[in-house]
Amino acid sequence: MGTASNWRADFPILGRPIDGRPLIYLDSAATSQKPEVVIQTMSDYYREANANVRRGVYALAAESDRRFEHARASIARLVDASTDGLVVTKNVTEAINLVAYAWGLRNLSDGDEILITIMEHHSNIVPWQLVAELTGATVKFCPMTAGHELDMDAMAEMIGPRTKVVSVVHVSNALGTINPVAEIGRMAHAAGALMVVDGSQSVPHMPVSFTELGCDVLAFTGHKMLGPTGIGILVARPELLDSMAPFMGGGEMINDVTTEGSTYATGPRKFEAGTPPIAETIGLGAAAEYLMAIGMDAVRAHELELTRYALDAMADIPGLMVYGPSDPERRGCPISFAMDTVHAHDVAQFLDAQGVCVRAGHHCAKPLMRTLGVAATARASTHVYSTTDEIDALVAALHGSAAYFA
């Protein structure tokens, strides 16, 4: 499906100048831009087929149902999963909370251990801490090596008979580190533990197969994978969903309701109370189809080329520290960095004055920042629409920043 320059032409916002400068958007790890097909697909739904799903018997409702279920099938196909295990949520944070509460509250008890890693996003830390407080379980953090990769020796030692959950980010949003989640999953399952994978930074950027990962749960979010905000996805083994109690109660998640009590729907619908994000699901389906048309191998190859190019170019910037593995093959597209004696927010503001958009802060990974010994980093991140010219602009602006703050 074309080349990077052709892909870029599919994203209307990238033609917008900011303060008279071309938009150089390098904050895709925070949220991606949207191709025209996603915008148009959502607009078409509202113009042509807007009706509630799973309820009406009239023709318009049937058309809304068809578009909604087609989108769910496309999303499932992207990650090699079955729609029987695909739950629509509002984001990955809700997806992980769903597992923590619907499974964790009923399966964890005093003395049990929840193993996560020091590089987790807060959305894969706080839910487990909350559930641990309610159940008496303990949250443990697997450390990382000096090269900013998971310490797999420590991981092997920490997984034991008390481990009930292992929940690991696939690609770190702050380091770019690609974690060996399939290997970790085998270790977790050997101990009888549930394996949860946060795929927020992997599903949008590389081939991800729920089947091949061998995990019990995979969570990802729409707005980072060229889709709309307000939708996340939880993919789980169908039998796991069947064993879990509902997360929220209300309409559509029931089998029957009487004055004496309620019985619940089976499968994903048990966890989709109320009207789902219909337009957002349809938009995410279009995003999944767009990515599959490009090919996730091609997406990964393009972004790997950009990452290699950026790491090489940034190596010569005075006073710049780049975090994460030095081998581009062992990392995703986020590149976090800090400049000697200059706060990350000041660097980001200087770059913004040059028209370059990067993120600065703790990236919702405060335990990791403390481990790195920094309050914050700046982060550049790419997607299919990013180019080497934009990396050149970033590097030139960073050289200018180094000179300005010297």
Distance CA 78, CA 352 (A): 34
**Whether the Cβ atoms of residue 180 and residue 169 lie closer than 8 Å to each other:** no
Residue 260 DSSP class: S
Q: Is 261 exposed, middle or buried (0-12, 13-18, 19+ CB in 10 A)?
A: exposed
364 is catalytic: yes
**Whether the Cβ atoms of residue 195 and residue 208 lie closer than 8 Å to each other:** no
The structure tokens listed for 132 are 């641990």
Check 142, 333, 357, 364 and give the catalytic one: 364
Helices (H), 343-387: 344-353, 366-372
**Whether the Cβ atoms of residue 331 and residue 177 lie closer than 8 Å to each other:** yes
CA 22 to chain centre: 27
Distance CA 214, CA 210 (A): 6
| Closest C-alpha to 241, from 264, 223, 224, 260 | 264
Distance CA 262, CA 234 (A): 24
Distance CA 287, CA 36 (A): 10
Distance CA 292, CA 164 (A): 35
The structure tokens listed for 231 are 């939708």
SS (H, E, C) 238-250: HHHHHHCCCCCCC
Neighbour-count burial for 149-184, b at 16+ CB within 10 Å, e otherwise: bbbeeebeebbeebbbbbbbbbbbbbbbbbbbbeeb
**Whether the Cβ atoms of residue 322 and residue 177 lie closer than 8 Å to each other:** no
* Contacts of 330 by beta carbon, 8 Å cutoff, 6+ apart: 149, 177, 178
The structure tokens listed for 104 are 């964790």
The count of other CB atoms within 10 Å of the CB of residue 387 is: 18
**Whether the Cβ atoms of residue 50 and residue 64 lie closer than 8 Å to each other:** yes
Active site residues: 364
